[in-house]
Chain A
Amino acid sequence: MNQMTDLSTSDTSPMLRVTDLAHRVSLETDTLTILQGVSLEINRGESVAIVGRSGSGKTTLLGLLAGLDTPTEGTVALDGAEISSLSEDERAKLRASRVGFVFQSFQLLPALSALENVMLPLELAGIDAPEVRAKELLVRVGLGERLNHTPRQLSGGEQQRVAIARAFASDPVVLFADEPTGNLDNRTGQDVSDLLMALNREQGTTLVMVTHDEQLAARCGRQLHIEAGILTEPESARERAH
């Protein structure tokens, strides 16, 4: 963990650098442009919200930034690694060691307990004593009493807490969140976003969040707007960023 922190403080290159990104999908008759001309830099430790309406391309952008998919054109560099030139397995390896995720629909494995869900990325990354670390995190997110409950036995808010614990488990340098409060009521959403922000600060993680919740977006250091596949950044925010 310390090593990671050292790395992020000593390195001044951006965590994410996106150049001339475009993404198109071929349909039966024509081609649909989902993203075009996206260029962007996100620095280490920054928290960035990508805001836009449904269908604006924000989820696609998140997937490309996280290396879940590869763009039609342009490049994405994550922590210095050129994602589009990596094979799928190399990208998986990169994700295992440096990237955390929080999803709108939680994406917990229903057959595993809360503890096991959090242990899973630790095991995949080959980290020692995964159980100790996973317990620590679950205690941190307030679920120390519910380690052995399966997702079905947990409420939506609790499930998202487990997901947050899982996202931070392998000490990621960057965390991607896709509408993390989208499936939760206001009050619970508020609690969950508090937790997410707090952990993010504590761990010094770079946060990239997709949301259409303006309030949540406002809690991020920087906001980007996306509409019809084109990314824009309000002047004030850009100044703050640089």
Chain B
Amino acid sequence: MAAKQKLMSVRRDWRERDVRVVLVALVIAVATVATIGLFASQLQRTLVSSASSFLAADRQLESENGRPVPPGWLEEARDRGLETGQMIEFSTMVFGETGFQLVSVKAVSDEYPLRGEIEIQPGADESRSIVDAGPGRGEIWINPRLLRLLELEVGDSLEVGNLELTITNLLIREPDGGFRLSSLAPRVMIHVDDVVGTGVIQEGSRVEYIYLFAGTENLLDDYYQWLQPQLEPSHEWEGVRDGETFSRSLERAERFLLLGGSLAVLLAAVAVAVASRQYALSQRDTVALLKTLGLPSKGIGRLYLRRLALWGLVGVLGGLLVALPLFWVLVRLLSDVLEQPVDFYLDPSALVPALLTALVSLFAFAYPPIRRLRHVAAMRVLRSQPGETGREAIPDMVIAIVAVFGLVWMYAGEISLVISLLGGLALLLVALALLGGLMVAALRQVRGGGNAWRLALVGLYRHRRASMAQMAVFAMTLMLAATLILVRTSLLDDWQAQLPDNAPNHFLINIAPDAVDDVEAFWADRDAPLDTVYPMVRGRLTELNDQPVKEAVSKDERVGALNRELNLTWMAALPEDNEIVAGSWFTPGETEGVSVEAELAEQLGLVLGDRLTFTIGSETVTEAITSIRTVQWDSMRPNFYMAFPPGGGLTDMPGTWITSFHLDQSNKVALNEFSRRFPTVSVLEIDHIIERIQQIVRQVTQAIEAILALILAAALVVMAAVVSATLRDRQREGALLRTLGGQQSLLARSTMLEFALLGFFAGVLGVLAAEAAVYALQVRMFEGGFSWHWQVMLPIPVISAVLLALFGRWQLRPVLSVSPMLLLRRLE
């Protein structure tokens, strides 16, 4: 190999400590960012498709005006390569041998469900099974409650309108049934082609046509672009992202992953900057020699530029080599947790940030000090020249800061993230300058001596510039790591709080007012006490300030709440997870007024004092708004748009009661007895949904832990880079000290102490800055409250002190293990 080529070979470079640090930092940065990018992309896809089963499709188009959509819409979807399906939902009476019952009919086409599955039971005592298609023509699947209400058996026939259908299965669970509380009547499922035969649907019937779509996100988006201009206000396009349950958790997980990625970028940038500056310093002799041998500065520039490009290549390839298996493991974990195979989804666009990270780290951080190598004087071969003053590096630092924050911004897409981190760092530097001044003043008083403490303090003072620089980098690294740990902790706590193990997983709906006490007693006896039981009255909002609501609210507002009956309630106490944002909650004894959910209030432009008129059956109730409150829709508890005070306008309206409660798997048999004793009460089993959400949260948690581990590794690399930077000087000093008679143990102890002090102060500063950054992040990005985190924070300075002390001791081991003579010669 030609000597010049060999000068640039990565294998040769690898032998240099500083290059190793640069390469490792690059590999970690690329690996972290690529893993996060790939996994976030996969996670979103998997969760969307896993959550898609809640819609039985990727998207639903609902037509709430009682008319089907033009057939051309579906043809267009199929032409574009989308799968489609159809459902019709309506209420009607069914007639059995012994009586009749109002049911909620869902008529499904052959393709239903496009996503998810149906759970059925061929008989009351038979085992349940999972199928992926609905009933065929002539069949009807019914809710077990109906079986009891009409004293039917599987195999009996049931009349729906003009048509007689055979009961072939009990319908236990439908993929898209879980969250709609609006249909209180027992569910039956038939084939869509039987609907016409029933003759139930007439002009003006209340019927919903629902169309199902499935396909890639791109196809769906394109189709929606095409469809959107043709939609009428009564048409509603629904995707999982619009659903309440998943989106918040998912969004926060994504933000966390992005934050992690951003911090990885920052840490890598710091490591690359420190190591390449060190590398550039070590290359000055080589450059001087090459110049002496006749290589012009342009040639020097090219030589090092090509070397940087090579590093970049190695960093990217190495990073991908780490990222891909890691990604593979994470996806395998994901499919384990979801108990279903997950298709790998290698999104090439997810790799772009990783490549950009490598590029920016190299060119904004590594290149500037290396570029200045061109100015090394050839005369250096004969005699050492004055070194850099550091002033030359100032424009580089400005470029670097702008570049890296630009990168973080592009990457996380959050200016508040950039500001939070920048603010934290600025604070850190101010604190560091203050502490540094104090420390230098205090250390000046210390006189040398044979004591390890004194030696350590003198060491700190003697290297005060290097010490301050090291402390700045350590503190910054610790701040970034601590920020991530803090955000992770609060995120996980938050999720845990949101869905604790004893979260309600069953709803009881349609409890007759006089049965409430019995129902409560039934479950209390079985150690499954009910949450608050709420009355529920179905009513429509018809007037706003004595004007018809459809006129009062602008036509553009497609507020679903106006198109259907709302669940109204009355309650004395504000539910724990609700929060008043305007006005005040009912005082005891107050019987007037209504409390409105905040988002709906905003959509309708409602303010305190507005008068709302509800039509309930044939009656109307009018109340003024006395408070506006937020509601946790994903709390798995009954939630209401409108709440009245006890004894208020709703009290005498016909209604039923609703509640939720937690029922252990082992206790589920009690449901059978319950259904026998309270045949009219609907039980909505959402335990499988909760379980799935908890699984997903666990999975995301694992991913977050993996990312955290990667970031902490990056932090360690930064620290190693910084310690290594002064290694030669320290080794030389150590060797001299030993030559002059310093004992090994003294040297070891003073070095460890020196590093421990550095680590401790850096830890304190880093933790304080992290608290500041987390405060800003939490308030702005994660919408959480802020509290101090002493339990997380206290150990960090101690851990950093211990780690650095050990690391310093380890770095010094060549000085301690060989004879001073040999050492001095080696260091020459």
Contact = CB atoms under 8 A, between A and B. Distances in A.
Interface of A: 59-60, 62-63, 66, 68-69, 88-89, 92-97, 99, 101, 103, 107, 109, 111-112, 115-117, 119-121, 123-125, 130, 170, 178
A92 B378 contact: yes
Contacts of A89: 296-298
B382 A68 contact: yes
Nearest to A62: B382
Contacts of B381: 68, 101, 103, 107
A123 B299 CA distance: 12
Among A59, A92, A99, which residue has the most Cβ atoms of chain B within 10 A? A92
A124 B295 contact: yes
A97 B294 contact: yes
A62 B382 CA distance: 9
Given A89-B297, A95-B294, 20 more contacts: A60-B383, A62-B382, A63-B382, A68-B377, A68-B381, A89-B296, A92-B291, A96-B295, A101-B381, A103-B382, A107-B292, A109-B289, A111-B12, A112-B6, A116-B3, A116-B6, A120-B3, A120-B4, A124-B295, A178-B382
B296 A69 contact: no
B379 A69 contact: yes
B675 to A, nearest CB: 81
Contacts of B818: none
Contacts of A96: 293-295
Interface string B1-35: 11110110000100100000000000000000000
A32 to B, nearest CB: 13
The SS class assigned to the A binding surface is: helix
Contact of B294 (A111, A117, A125, A130): A125
Given A68-B381, A103-B382, A124 B292 contact: no
B384 to A, nearest CB: 11
A112 B7 contact: yes
Contacts of A130: 2-3
B382 A123 contact: no
A123 B4 contact: yes
**Interface size classification for chain B:** 20 to 34
B427 interface: no
A164 B285 CA distance: 19
6 contacts: A59-B382, A99-B294, A103-B381, A116-B1, A119-B2, A124-B294
B604 interface: no
A123 B290 CA distance: 11
Contact of B290 (A99, A111, A124): A124
B498 interface: no
B383 A59 contact: yes
A230 B7 CA distance: 41
A69 B378 contact: yes
Interface in B555-590: none
Contact of B4 (A88, A103, A124): A124
B743 interface: no
Contacts of A97: 294
A92 B7 contact: no
A119 B4 CA distance: 9
Contacts of B285: 107
Contacts of B7: 109, 111-112, 120
Given A124-B4, A130-B2, A107 B289 contact: yes
A169 to B, nearest CB: 9
Contacts of B293: 95-96, 101, 120-121, 124
A97 B295 CA distance: 11
